[in-house]
Amino acid sequence: MSIPMVDLKQQFSSIKDEVVQGIFDVLETTRFVLGPHGEALEQEIAAYCGVRHAFGVASGTDALHLALRAAEIGPGDEVITTAFTFIATAEAIAYVGASPVFVDIDPATFNIDVTKIESAITPRTRAVIPVHLYGQPVDLAPLVVLCQKHGLRMIEDCAQSFGANYQERMTGAWGDAGCFSFFPSKNLGCYGDGGMIITNDDELAQQVQMLRNHGSRERYYHAVIGYNSRLDDMQAVILRAKLKHIDTYNRLRRENAAHYNARLANSAVTVPFEDGKGTHVFHQYTIRVQDRERVQKALADEGIASAIYYPVPLHRQEVFISNCADVSLPVTDQAASEVLSLPMYPELIEEQIDRVCQTLLSAL
């Protein structure tokens, strides 16, 4: 029997009744956009993350874009981030006319190496976007100090870290804004595209609220050029149903990761590292392995899914490479050649993990 990267159908079966009833309620009331379920979700997520404001938007990419725009990052500015991430992180920077500046990663966590950021700061630097990759929080405390020292905004990319915390505070609640993706495969995912911005900054919150709704505070009165980026109520219904279980989902992910670790101990596989400063929620279970192509084929031959996040780092992507001729990120390049993500979802069972590990170890 095949083992997928994620099994959304199995998860749906456990919340089906609540989701169907909630969607029926939306259809009956015809409050499809900026309705009561969306408002309730915003309040629930703000409370869960320990912040004052939360705003549903159309995607995680939009969340980053609107947060940067609300923070008044624009043409001529530079934003420091990692090249070892999905392109949306850098796309959002480009959308506002700013330039992404890539620094290398920590070889153990795969997150941005905070110790390398200060040397990349120039008079044009306005912000830093740390990405909590694979569900492991970035080392945020020294980054907060660094941003305060240089007067920089911090926009957290939390697309893969919903429910993760660092020093007992949720990711997303440390920076000027936290940006989440609710893509279906995420730890907290809807059944389409969706995203959210959280913040404790009242002024930034006012800007986000306008920007997501055509730059309008009051219907048909527009203060700025905004966007049509609103999370619809049907997606909010799904997210509210899942939010009730997010801590359980993340606990099961951590238990599955522990089982992987035990099965792969003392092998040629480098298992995920946890720095102990925060709680890793294992959006992905990502190993390092030599001869990756052969290993991935062996898994596929047994019906076991795997994925590479990410095979081409951003400084080597065609869209950015002309501006990155002098950029040297050896740790990032090495990681991109070795990482392999194995099946990871809450409903994964030990027998499946054992089969994945047995096939992987046999291939090695």
Q: Is the pTM of this model over 0.95?
A: yes
Type of residue numbered 195: G
Task: Give DSSP secondary structure letters for 97-115.
Answer: T-EEEEE-B-TTT-SB-GG
Distances (CA, A) of 348 to 51, 242, 259, 292, 339: 32, 17, 11, 23, 21
Q: Is 343 found in the same domain as 219?
A: no
Residue pLDDT, tens place only, 231-253: 999 999 999 999 999 999 999 99
pLDDT tens, residue order, the chain (364 aa): 899 999 999 999 999 999 999 999 999 999 999 999 999 999 999 999 999 999 999 999 999 999 999 999 999 999 999 999 999 999 999 999 999 999 999 999 999 999 999 999 999 999 999 999 999 999 999 999 999 999 999 999 999 999 999 999 999 999 999 999 999 999 999 999 999 999 999 999 999 999 999 999 889 999 999 999 999 999 999 999 999 999 999 999 999 999 999 999 999 999 999 988 999 999 999 999 999 999 999 999 999 999 999 999 999 999 999 999 999 999 999 999 999 999 999 999 999 999 999 999 999 9
- Residues 177 and 155 sit within 8 Å (Cβ to Cβ): yes
Q: Which of 211, 243, 275 is the last residue of a domain?
A: 243
Cα distance between residue 42 and residue 40, in whole Å: 5
Q: Are strands 221-222 and 216-218 parallel, antiparallel or unpaired?
A: antiparallel
Q: Which domain holds residue 17?
A: 8-243
Which CATH number do you get for residue 151?
3.40.640.10
Last residue within a domain, chosen from 200, 227, 243: 243
Residue 1, in any domain of the structure? no
| Among 242, 255, 243, residue whose Cα is nearest residue 12 | 242
Residues 271 and 215 in one domain: no
Instruction: For 91-111, write each residue's pLDDT tens digit.
Output: 999 999 999 999 999 999 999
Give the separation between CA 223 and CA 213, rounded to whole angstroms: 11
Does an H or E element contain 199, and which? strand 195-199
Among 243, 263, 296, identify where a domain stops: 243
